[in-house]
Amino acid sequence: MKKVMEATNAMFPLPVVLVTSGDGKKDNIITIAWTTNICRKTPCIGIIINGKKYSLDLIKEHKEFIVNIPGQKNLKEVDICGGKHGDKVDKYKLTGFTKEKAKEVKASMIKECPINIECKLEDIYVKETSNLLIGKVLKLHIDEKILDNNGKIDYKKLDPIVYAQKTYFPLKEGIAKRGFGLK
């Protein structure tokens, strides 16, 4: 028997990312756990920023942002970036993260993150206090150390973090390839 509950967010763990925004000199980092791919032909990423945040203001001002995907070795820094306000502290100094120049946008990438995705802001949709930002992917930077022999991302090497119900989880390993049930 299933228990009927009031409406709430019951999605499975989602990837934790660090979104950077700013002008390359004064940048901010925000931890985001509500993120997703939007489309394939023109790759876009959607991120949710709840409420009025400093990063939201920076992204609106500069019309761009970078999605940096950390590994578990940077979990403490990820948590710090999600718990401090960027208009009050320099999160690069606080965490020891290194700024790295991007190719297409002014904001800095995080060198310690093995994946950096430069995005141009395309749209913002507001629902109550949540802001869905859609970014068109301009450039993708991937540390070669996390690629397999076929040039694809090896998620075991990346060792990403996922998040649900105010808890960080490891992403273990794949259990089957798509289409296995059709054979």
86 DSSP 8-state letter: T
CATH number of 14-182: 2.30.110.10
Render pLDDT for 22-79 as a digit per residue (tens, 0 to 9): 998 899 999 999 999 998 899 999 999 998 899 999 999 999 999 999 999 999 999 9
Render pLDDT for 4-26 as a digit per residue (tens, 0 to 9): 878 777 677 788 999 999 998 89
What is the pTM (predicted TM-score) of this model?
0.93
Spell out the SS3 assignment of 156-177.
HHHCCEEEECCEEEECCCCCCC
Render pLDDT for 89-114 as a digit per residue (tens, 0 to 9): 999 999 999 999 999 999 999 999 99
**β strands within 87-177, DSSP E:** 99-100, 109-110, 115-127, 130-142, 161-164, 167-170
